[in-house]
Amino acid sequence: MSPQLRVDMTEAESFAPVDAPGVFPMKVYSVSEAKQGPKATYVEVQFAFLEPELDKKHGKVYNNYPINGKGAFRFKEMWKKILGEDLPEDAPIDVDTDELLGQEIDVDITIDYEYDPENPKNKVAKLISSHT
């Protein structure tokens, strides 16, 4: 006989794609430890919807930002758009990614069908800065 279980789905996230692509107010939810990719070292930055219903329905949206190599400009752009601070280009620099946590930013989200057409996912198209 199989056991009976009490299942609580009240906090479950569905990760369903947004109803329509567009710009959503979000906050930085997490920044991963550095990970080694095939071309560069990167961090994964997760964004959470500010509206609780959207966050529960669509879950977190993430993007990878290289921290070295030719793609490191993406990390520099992300840092500038979120914190309004330029990072120097003439030498490596240590940064505290905890500074990003909780910061609010508008995120332009598209729906990605390429990776798995039967299970599309939300994708960060770009960050929209409030810093000039």
The answer to whether residue 22 sits within a structural domain is no
Q: Could you list the residue range(s) of the whole structural domain that residue 74 is in?
A: 27-128
Cα dihedral: 108, 113, 114, 116 (round 10): 130
pTM: 0.85
The Cβ-side half-sphere exposure at 84, using a 13 Å CA radius, reads 6
Q: Which tens digits make up the pLDDT trace of 18-53?
A: 888 999 999 999 999 999 999 999 999 999 999 999
Q: What is the 3-state secondary structure (H, E, C) of 22-77?
A: EEEEEEEEEECCCEECCCCEEEEEEEEECCHHHHHHHCCEEEEEECCCHHHHHHHH
The answer to whether residue 8 sits within a structural domain is no
The answer to whether residue 10 sits within a structural domain is no
The answer to whether residue 90 sits within a structural domain is yes
Q: Which tens digits make up the pLDDT trace of 74-101?
A: 999 999 999 999 999 888 999 999 999 9
- The total number of structural domains in the chain stands at 1
Helix or strand or coil: residue 78?
Answer: helix
